[in-house]
Amino acid sequence: MRGDAIRATQTAMKLSVVIPSYNEQDNIEPLMEALEAALRDINFEVVFVDDGSNDSTVDKILSYVDPRIRLIRFSRNFGQTSALAAGIAEAKGEYIATIDADLQNDPLDIPMMLEKLERENLDIVVGRRLRRQDGMILRKVPSILANGLIRFLTNVRVHDYGCTLKVFRSSVARQLGLYGELHRFIPVLSTIIGGRMAEVGVRHHPRRFGVSKYGIGRTFRVLSDLMLMWFFLKYRQKPMHLFGSLGFVLLALGSLIEGYLLVLKIMGESIAQRPLFYLGFMMILAAIQFITTGFLAELMMRSYFESQQKTPYTVAARYEGGRLLMPGTES
């Protein structure tokens, strides 16, 4: 077994399985057994990212001397998004699969997802948990509502944003820019960079060991991140279209109100004590702030792209004389 593992690491790595883990000591051994059984025909590595566990999770992982198994240990709990970002940055495989350490995702679905990604020339395949094995009130209902709201605002047609089980091309995974708690919005981030995506049904199992790290308290964080994703999708490259439009609408309304009051003033009526006077004045001030914010956001956006030599577009492929060139290559 060890000899086979060493020979596998000496050839091109096809798949890196990134597993964020936090207090999952009882799940490590059965998870590794399931991965070995599911991926026996694939040259793979496992990248565990321990997110500040205070149980024996780290010791369980370190008990494996297989060179295909690597561990990144955080100094404290930074959250699942940071754990996924660290694992993706360390992965050596041509493709990357992400999966939870709680045994609710099934490693047997990974080969099917990888085969679909390769066959259909996709950049990311996301899982949709069928017959989800979670509580109805605290998990399923909030998830259904959140997924529906995200689809409505972003128009990214994914049914299960909360499923960690995904397979990416590593080049695409490294472009996602995972910060804060944006792991829930990976399909949206993939759309922003022009990734080709598909969703497939996957198995879901009840949790056998440990306790869930999710609760109803994450709802407001999801809503905040959703507003950020909506802004990224629609106005990331043209922030003035949002702030300028709001500013000019408020400026027009405020000017109409103050113009109306000016006419009343000329006719001899007192306007200083009217609430409408202050409303119009505040609208004009807010309009100036929105328009100024739009200018600043445009300058920051242009500085971001130009200083880092980034482009506001993504090239899917290049052709020359009818011959396909890989993205980013030159003749």
**Sequence-separated contacts (24+) of 226-234 with Cβ below 8 Å:** 226/149, 226/150, 226/153, 226/154, 226/185, 228/182, 229/150, 229/153, 229/154, 229/182, 229/185, 229/188, 229/189, 230/153, 230/154, 232/188, 232/192, 233/154, 233/155, 233/156, 233/188, 233/191, 233/192
Find the length of the chain.
331
Global pTM reads 0.73
Domain assignments of the chain as residue spans, ordered by start: 7-235, 239-307
3-state secondary structure of 159: coil
Tokens read off for 177: 């820019």
CA angle centred on 43, ends 37 and 49, rounded to 5°: 80
Tokens read off for 290: 């929105």
Amino acid identity at 45 = E
Tokens read off for 180: 């804060």
In CATH terms, the fold of domain 7-235 is: Spore Coat Polysaccharide Biosynthesis Protein SpsA; Chain A (3.90.550)
- pLDDT tens, position by position, for the chain (331 residues)? 455 555 554 567 899 999 999 888 888 999 999 999 999 989 999 999 998 888 888 999 998 888 889 999 998 888 888 899 999 999 999 999 999 988 888 999 999 999 999 999 999 999 988 877 665 555 566 667 777 787 788 788 888 887 889 999 998 888 888 877 788 888 888 888 878 899 999 988 887 775 665 555 566 677 777 788 888 778 877 888 889 999 999 999 999 999 999 898 888 888 878 888 899 999 999 999 999 998 998 888 888 777 777 776 666 667 776 777 665 444 3
Q: Check if the beta carbon of residue 282 is closer than 8 Å to that of residue 218.
A: no
Of 196, 188, 200, nearest to 236 (Cα)? 188
Tokens read off for 45: 């590595």
Matching residue, tokens 């060890």: 2
Distance from C-alpha of 82 to C-alpha of 71, rounded to nearest angstrom = 14
Q: Check if the beta carbon of residue 181 is closer than 8 Å to that of residue 214.
A: no
